[in-house]
Amino acid sequence: MRSALSFLALTSLLLPSSAFAQSPSAEPITVTASPITDFQRAAIGEPVDGLIFKGGLQLSSSHPDFGGISGLAFLDADRFVMVTDEGRFISGALVLAEGAPAGVADVEIDVIRNSKGAPLPRKFAQDSEAVEAIFREDGTSAVRVGFEHLARIADFEMIDGRPGGAAREVAIPDWLTALRTNESIESVCIAPPASPVAGSTLIITEAHSLVPGTWAATLLGNRDRGDLHLAQGGGVNPTDCAFLPNGDLLVLERGFAFLTFTARLRLIPADEVQPGATMEGEVIFSASGGEIDNFEALGVRGLPDGETRITMVSDDNFNSFQRTLLLDFALPDPE
């Protein structure tokens, strides 16, 4: 497997042109992927804390707008949409070889637009931090994006398989709209059918508190609307969230101290995600050191064989001394 992965690392992989129809304003870009075949002394297929390591990639591109990845959503087993903190959509497909990430294919980058269909005008409005896919009963789809600084949530229709067009703002609580710092919206995820709050959008702030000892969060839903809280602890802040198919919630957390990043993943039972609750859960993954960067994006997808994959991506902040890393994991089989 290592020789196959090394070969695939030399170039980004290309899917047939039929895999995506190109959006009118999107720009194809080349992304080079260097496989990561061991992590925290674990080889592919071996456990790391409460997860199974499935491989990873270090991603790079000469395109000046590639980087700053802050949110990730999967549309199916391989197609993804990411957002950057400079107001860009990055979409494409994650390619596997023998079950391990081997490259990214058919990658395009596009500007995120305002409600009039024009590119977002300035950095204060461009800071997109989270993205989640929306699948409707009529077969149409969209993505829901969370922005910090100018705190808001907006939906974007899928156009030829990729997000684009004018933003449609989604109403959020007044206390959240009033936030004008980078401590506001950081995580956005939508509860699956198995969840007690199915269809509700969960928003978690990065560093804003309504109740001491917790980070502020809120649920947007018809029957499940209201604020809730995420318990603090461990010197980390939430950076993204994703629901598992059974309704349990994953929260990705990030810490930075002594020039070292920490990445932590918390598993919160489905019944803790409801208005008025304080979500605590348990830490199922924690790592720091040279193999960790500024992990801000989290996505969950199901593979054709039924395995659930958990993917984390780091935000390099457009700094040459940081990296865009993608790590792929699975939950262990239940005993």
DSSP, res 86: T
271 pLDDT band (50/70/90 cuts)? very high
- CB-CB contact of 333 with 51 (8 Å): no
Who has greater pLDDT, 180 or 310? 310
The distance in angstroms from the start CA to the end CA of the chain is 28
- In terms of pTM, does the model score above 0.75? yes
Centroid of chain to Cα 215: 19
Lowest mean pLDDT, pick from 5-14, 74-83, 297-306, 323-332: 5-14
- Give residue 258's pLDDT: 87
Q: How far apart are CA 266 and CA 284, in angstroms?
A: 6
Q: What is the pLDDT of residues 90-142, one digit of tens each?
A: 999 999 999 999 999 999 999 999 999 999 987 789 999 999 999 999 999 99
Mean pLDDT of the chain: 91
CATH class of this structure's domain 27-330 = mainly beta
Q: Which residue type occupies 93?
A: A
pLDDT of 4 higher than 80: no
- Give residue 335's pLDDT: 62
Q: What DSSP element (H or E) covers 2?
A: helix 2-9
pLDDT of 27 higher than 80: yes
Q: What DSSP element (H or E) covers 51?
A: strand 51-60
Domain ranges of the chain: 27-330
- Give residue 28's pLDDT: 96
Q: What is the pLDDT of residues 238-263, one digit of tens each?
A: 999 999 999 999 999 999 998 899 99
- Give residue 226's pLDDT: 97
